[in-house]
């Protein structure tokens, strides 16, 4: 006999079909799960943060909102999301505009795969 499904715990289960277009390993799966969880709870988190920061509200309301905010899963925090390379899943040396590592950016730029990017010469 199974009870009602918990909507929060379903956020953190990995889907059977991933919408990732890069090399898949443990780090990318974890990052994908964090991004999906953050996306699903972003509006609720922003509403709670507004209640906590609104000084015109009663203190009890603000404390209750703060308590609910701290009890949310860690994956719903924006600080948990790490920029990763979409080509090779590297976690360091990422160029935000292109979502690539320095090395992948250099190889794609030299191959002419990035429009508007060319090697500098002066």
CA–CA gap between residue 45 and residue 51 (Å, rounded): 10
The ranges assigned to domains in the chain are: 23-82, 83-115
Cross-strand pairs, 94: 101
- In this prediction, residue 27 has a pLDDT band, given cuts at 50, 70 and 90, of confident
User: pLDDT digit string (tens) for 68-79?
Assistant: 999 998 888 888
User: pLDDT digit string (tens) for 3-17?
Assistant: 555 555 666 665 566
Q: pTM above the 0.75 mark?
A: no
- 23-82: CATH architecture: Orthogonal Bundle (1.10)
CA–CA gap between residue 12 and residue 42 (Å, rounded): 14
Provide the token pair at 120: 């500098």
Chain-centroid distance of CA 64 in Å reads: 26
- Using CA atoms, how far residue 63 sits from 29, 49, 58, in Å, is 35, 11, 9
| pLDDT, mean of residues 87-113 | 87
């Amino acid at each position: 006999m199974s009870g009602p499904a918990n909507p929060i715990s379903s956020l953190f289960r990995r889907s059977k079909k991933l919408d990732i277009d890069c090399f898949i390993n443990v780090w990318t799966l974890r990052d994908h799960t964090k991004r999906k969880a953050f996306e699903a709870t972003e509006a609720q988190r922003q509403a709670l943060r507004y209640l906590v920061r609104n000084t015109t509200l009663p203190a009890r309301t603000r404390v209750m909102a703060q308590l609910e905010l701290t009890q949310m899963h860690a994956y719903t925090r924006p600080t948990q999301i790490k920029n990763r390379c979409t080509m090779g899943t590297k976690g360091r040396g990422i160029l935000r505009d292109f979502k690539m590592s320095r090395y992948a950016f250099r190889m794609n730029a030299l191959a002419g795969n990035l429009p508007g990017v060319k090697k500098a010469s002066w």
